[in-house]
């Protein structure tokens, strides 16, 4: 296996910013995401602006709508140790 250098982290991302980034990458408005999840648009705005905690249940609902694992939303800065492939 070839050796590689992992990408360096350039910026810190908050939980709210991770939700916003994923929403925008999927070209969804807050209103569209609200319709997909049943979470009020005002609450999505508050989450994205880090005024309201995301919480596990909301993370699950948002992750389903954004096609990602809930951990991506809840732990945006999490780093895992590199493992070699078997």
- SS3 string, the chain, reads CCCCCCCCCCCCCCHHHHHHHHHHHCCCCHHHHHHHHCCCHHHHHHHHCCCCCCCHHHHHHHHHHHCCCHHHHHCCCCCCCCCCCC
Domain ranges, ordered by start, for the chain:
15-74
**Is the pLDDT reported for residue 73 higher than 70?**
yes
The whole-number pLDDT of residue 74 equals: 86
Going by pLDDT thresholds of 50, 70 and 90, the confidence category of residue 76 is confident
* Range 15-74 has CATH code 1.10.3720.10: no
Distance CA 58, CA 63 (A): 8
- Tens of pLDDT, residue by residue over 28-72, are 999 999 999 999 999 999 999 999 999 999 999 999 999 999 988
* pTM of the predicted model as reported, rounded to 2 decimal places: 0.76
**Residue 83: per-residue pLDDT:** 58
Q: Report pLDDT for 80.
A: 58
pLDDT value for 82: 56
């Amino acid at each position: 296996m070839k050796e590689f250098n992992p990408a360096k982290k350039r910026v810190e991302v908050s939980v709210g910013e991770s939700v916003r980034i994923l929403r925008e990458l999927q070209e969804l408005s807050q209103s569209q995401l609200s319709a997909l999840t049943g979470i009020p648009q005002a609450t999505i705005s508050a989450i994205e602006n880090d005024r309201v905690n995301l919480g596990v249940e909301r993370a699950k609902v948002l992750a389903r709508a954004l096609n990602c694992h809930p951990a991506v939303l809840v732990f945006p800065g999490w780093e895992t140790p590199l493992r070699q492939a078997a």
